[in-house]
Chain A
Amino acid sequence: QSALTQEASVSGTVGQKVTLSCTGNSNNIGSYAVGWYQQISHGAPKTVMFGNSLPSGIPDRFSGSKSGTTASLTISGLQPEDEADYYCSTWDYSLSAYVFGTGTKVTVL
């Protein structure tokens, strides 16, 4: 049972802006920065955002934000190679454990 809730799917055309959300509570997202992970065709996850910081090599069309207990990942200018599953994650201090989101499948139309 995931502690963080994400949309099951999001779709957009090439060049469009899409926003993925990740909703938790005060024990997790409300207290810690959120990491976002891209998983293409069930391969290894790749970190695309931590908090609002971009890892080296990740295009700047990816951006992250947080408001209260909801975090968001925005892809501005969707590209075909962005088609993947995206997971959010953070620490939950009441569980003393990392928690993951349910995952969002991004489809490029």
Chain B
Amino acid sequence: QVQLQESGPGLVKPSQTLSLTCTVSGGSISSGSYYWSWIRQPAGKGLEWIGRIYTSGSTNYNPSLKSRVTISVDTSKNQFSLKLSSVTAADTAVYYCARGPMTTAFFDYWGQGTLVTVSS
């Protein structure tokens, strides 16, 4: 069974860069059959897709966040990562990583999520 686990600082200061890592177990991130995404959810609000990466390094980002987002992959560690720059309080949210099969438009496995608070 594939499992995804987010990790990273739970508190980030305004204007700094938020950095999170998703570790994949139970399957290889290099299998080539999946996209790997980041999704977030502010408290009391809905889900927002941030971006995705393929093992080749090819990426797609949410147009509303594109200027501040970088997603990368480390196949040797079976991990992919998120960097979100110039954060504000509006970036406070639970951040999820998720897997999506290629040629489809959905996510089949999700991480448990990690809360990131932006505050001084």
Residues of A within 8 A of B (CB): 2, 32-35, 37, 42-47, 50-51, 55, 87, 89-91, 95-103
Check: B119 CB closer than 8 A to any chain A CB: no
Q: By the criterion CB–CB under 8 Å, are B105 and A35 in contact?
A: yes
Whole-angstrom distance from the CB of B54 to the nearest CB of chain A? 13
Q: By the criterion CB–CB under 8 Å, are A98 and B49 in contact?
A: yes
Give the chain B neighbours of A102 by CB distance below 8 A. Answer: 46
Give the chain B neighbours of A37 by CB distance below 8 A. Answer: 47, 107, 110
The answer, among A44, A51, A55, A99, for a CB contact under 8 Å with B96, is: A44
Q: By the criterion CB–CB under 8 Å, are A90 and B96 in contact?
A: no
Q: By the criterion CB–CB under 8 Å, are A100 and B46 in contact?
A: yes
Whole-angstrom distance from the CB of A47 to the nearest CB of chain B? 6
Whole-angstrom distance from the CB of B99 to the nearest CB of chain A? 10
